[in-house]
Amino acid sequence: MDNLSRDNLKERIRNAPGNDIVSVISEHLDLQRKGSTYVGLCPFHPDTHPSMSVNPNMQIFKCFACGAGGDVFKFLQMRENLTFPQALERLGLRAGIEVNFRPKREPRTAASDPNMLLRVNNWAQRYFRQKFLDKTLGETAREYCRQRELGDELIEQWGLGYCPDSWDDMSKAAMKAGISENLLIESGISVKTKNGTLMDNYKHRLIFPIIDTMGNYIGFGGRTLGDDKRKYVNSPANAIFDKSNCVYGLDKARHAVVRDKFAVLVEGYTDVIMSHHFGFDNVVAALGTSVTDGQIRLIKRFAGQVVMLLDSDIAGRAAADRALSVCIRQGVDVKAAFVPDGKDPCEFLLSAGEDAMRDVIDGAVDVFDFKWRHLKEEIEADGSTVEKHSSTVDFLRFVAEALAAGSIDDISRGLLVRRLAGLTGMSVEQINTRLERLSGNAGRNMVQASENRQVKSFKPGNSAMEKAVWEIVEVIINAPSNIDSIREYIEPGKLDDIYLKEVTAALLKLYDAKGCDFTLADLLAEIEETELASFLVKLADEGEKKQFYTERIHSAVELIKYNRKAEAIKSAQASDSDQFMQAIKELKDLHKSNGKNLRLDTLDKW
Ligand SMILES: [Zn+2]
Which CATH number fits the domain that encloses residue 65? Answer: 3.90.580.10
CA distance linking residue 309 with residue 181, whole number of Å? 41
How many CA atoms within 13 Å lie on the side-chain side of 496?
8
Distance (angstroms) between ligand 1 centre and the Cα of 239 equals: 23
Residue-level pLDDT at 573:
61
Domain that holds residue 270: 245-371
Q: What is the pLDDT of residues 259-289, one digit of tens each?
A: 899 999 998 899 999 999 999 999 999 887 7
Query: In this structure, is residue 102 part of a structural domain?
Result: no
Q: Cα angle vertex 567, ends 562, 569, to 5°? A: 95
Residues 6+ apart with CB under 8 A from 116: 108, 109, 110, 183
Distance (angstroms) between ligand 1 centre and the Cα of 32 equals: 16
Distance (angstroms) between ligand 1 centre and the Cα of 351 equals: 46
CA distance linking residue 90 with residue 443, whole number of Å? 40
Residue-level pLDDT at 601:
39
User: Are residues 556 and 596 located together in one domain of the fold?
Assistant: yes
ipTM value for the complex: 0.96
Distance (angstroms) between ligand 1 centre and the Cα of 40 equals: 10
Burial zone of 36 (CB within 10 Å; 0-12 exposed, 13-18 middle, 19+ buried): exposed
The number of distinct structural domains making up the chain is 5
Distance (angstroms) between ligand 1 centre and the Cα of 41 equals: 8
Query: In this structure, is residue 458 part of a structural domain?
Result: no
Distance (angstroms) between ligand 1 centre and the Cα of 517 equals: 30
Residue that finishes a domain, picked among 95, 130, 147: 95
Distance (angstroms) between ligand 1 centre and the Cα of 43 equals: 6
Distance (angstroms) between ligand 1 centre and the Cα of 590 equals: 46
Distance (angstroms) between ligand 1 centre and the Cα of 600 equals: 43
Query: In this structure, is residue 453 part of a structural domain?
Result: no
User: Are residues 272 and 337 located together in one domain of the fold?
Assistant: yes
Distance (angstroms) between ligand 1 centre and the Cα of 492 equals: 31
| 22 pLDDT above the threshold of 60 | yes
Residue that finishes a domain, picked among 186, 208, 241: 241
User: Are residues 196 and 258 located together in one domain of the fold?
Assistant: no
Distance (angstroms) between ligand 1 centre and the Cα of 455 equals: 8
CA distance linking residue 50 with residue 61, whole number of Å? 13
User: Are residues 125 and 215 located together in one domain of the fold?
Assistant: yes
User: Are residues 419 and 324 located together in one domain of the fold?
Assistant: no
5-13, long-range: CB < 8 A, 24+ apart: 6/101, 7/513, 9/88, 9/92, 9/97, 9/99, 9/101, 10/88, 10/525, 11/525, 12/95, 12/97, 13/88, 13/91, 13/92, 13/95, 13/97, 13/99
Distance (angstroms) between ligand 1 centre and the Cα of 67 equals: 6
Ramachandran region, residue 288 (left: φ > 0; alpha: ψ -120 to 50; beta: rest):
left
Name the residue among 288, 285, 277, 287 with its Cα closest to residue 306. Answer: 285
Q: What is the largest CA-CA distance in the chain?
A: 105
Q: What is the pLDDT of residues 425-463, one digit of tens each?
A: 778 887 888 777 776 644 333 333 333 334 445 566 667
Query: In this structure, is residue 12 part of a structural domain?
Result: yes
User: Are residues 394 and 363 located together in one domain of the fold?
Assistant: no
User: Are residues 412 and 353 located together in one domain of the fold?
Assistant: no
User: Are residues 262 and 350 located together in one domain of the fold?
Assistant: yes
* CATH number, residue 131: 3.90.980.10
Q: What is the pLDDT of residues 113-157, one digit of tens each?
A: 888 899 999 999 999 999 999 999 999 999 999 999 999 999 999
> What pLDDT band is residue 252 in, cutting at 50, 70 and 90?
very high
Residue-level pLDDT at 602:
38
Q: What is the pLDDT of residues 282-334, one digit of tens each?
A: 999 988 777 888 899 889 888 889 999 887 666 677 777 778 778 877 878 88
| 109 pLDDT above the threshold of 60 | no
User: Are residues 313 and 212 located together in one domain of the fold?
Assistant: no
Distance (angstroms) between ligand 1 centre and the Cα of 485 equals: 36
Residue that finishes a domain, picked among 196, 226, 241: 241
User: Are residues 268 and 359 located together in one domain of the fold?
Assistant: yes
Distance (angstroms) between ligand 1 centre and the Cα of 323 equals: 25
Residue-level pLDDT at 107:
46
User: Are residues 233 and 265 located together in one domain of the fold?
Assistant: no
Query: In this structure, is residue 538 part of a structural domain?
Result: yes
| 2 pLDDT above the threshold of 70 | no
Query: In this structure, is residue 378 part of a structural domain?
Result: no
Q: What is the pLDDT of residues 504-549, one digit of tens each?
A: 888 888 888 888 888 888 888 888 888 888 888 888 888 888 888 8
Distance (angstroms) between ligand 1 centre and the Cα of 29 equals: 13
Distance (angstroms) between ligand 1 centre and the Cα of 180 equals: 38
Distance (angstroms) between ligand 1 centre and the Cα of 413 equals: 20
User: Are residues 430 and 549 located together in one domain of the fold?
Assistant: no
| 493 pLDDT above the threshold of 50 | yes
181-186, long-range: CB < 8 A, 24+ apart: 182/109, 182/111, 183/109, 183/111, 183/116, 183/117, 183/120, 184/120, 186/111, 186/112, 186/117, 186/236, 186/238, 186/239
Distance (angstroms) between ligand 1 centre and the Cα of 61 equals: 10
Distance (angstroms) between ligand 1 centre and the Cα of 92 equals: 26
Q: Is residue 95 within 8 Å of residue 16, measured between CB atoms? A: yes
Distance (angstroms) between ligand 1 centre and the Cα of 309 equals: 32
Write out 285-354 in H/E/C secondary structure.
EECCCCCCHHHHHHHHCCCCEEEEEEECCHHHHHHHHHHHHHHHHHCCEEEEEEEHHHCCHHHHHHHHCH
Range 160-171 average pLDDT: 95
Distance (angstroms) between ligand 1 centre and the Cα of 450 equals: 10
Distance (angstroms) between ligand 1 centre and the Cα of 201 equals: 39
Distance (angstroms) between ligand 1 centre and the Cα of 46 equals: 7
Q: What is the pLDDT of residues 537-589, one digit of tens each?
A: 888 888 888 888 888 888 888 888 887 777 777 776 656 666 666 766 776 67
Distance (angstroms) between ligand 1 centre and the Cα of 465 equals: 31
| 3-state secondary structure at position 233 | strand
